[in-house]
Amino acid sequence: DAGVIQSPRHEVTEMGQEVTLRCKPISGHDYLFWYRQTMMRGLELLIYFNNNVPIDDSGMPEDRFSAKMPNASFSTLKIQPSEPRDSAVYFCASSSGTSGSPQETQYFGPGTRLLVL
């Protein structure tokens, strides 16, 4: 398996523009997670899906952020309008079980490095 695939790997945009980040989870995994990582705040969970359904979006910073998972093999994280403080590395991860299961491991993608000017 190719692992979790994210695109683009790097994105530079201007404040106010719409940004769309994409993720393809590992085939067969039924959980998908979106994370954000910054030097100041470390790693933060934004939202997660189970069987394509958003379960917990309490980590989404504000209404400018939205995430969708139209099918089991694709998810998007959209920021509209983008702001400089959104600059961060955004990771997508997938797993085959809940965090409560000792067998469950989350597999992270390579991340998208976003810079909003």
As a whole number of angstroms, the distance between CA 51 and CA 71 comes to 8
Q: Could you say whether residue 53 binds another protein (CB under 8 A)?
A: no
Smallest gap from residue 53 Cβ to another protein (A)? 12
Q: Which is nearer to another protein, 81 or 96 (CB)?
A: 96
As a whole number of angstroms, the distance between CA 92 and CA 76 comes to 10
Smallest gap from residue 12 Cβ to another protein (A)? 16
Residue 44, token pair as written in the block:
């933060």
How far lies 60's CA from each of 9, 55, 84, 105, in Å?
21, 12, 16, 22
Using the contact rule CB under 8 A, the part of the chain among 11-19, 67-75, 79-87, 108-116 near another protein is 108-116
Q: Could you say whether residue 44 binds another protein (CB under 8 A)?
A: yes
Token pair 């403080």 is at which residue? 85
Q: Which amino acid is at 65?
A: F
Q: Could you say whether residue 93 binds another protein (CB under 8 A)?
A: yes
Instruction: Provide the residue count of the chain.
Output: 117
Q: Could you say whether residue 51 binds another protein (CB under 8 A)?
A: no
**Interacting residues with another protein (CB under 8 A):** 4, 31, 42-45, 48, 50, 55-56, 91, 93, 98-100, 102, 104-111
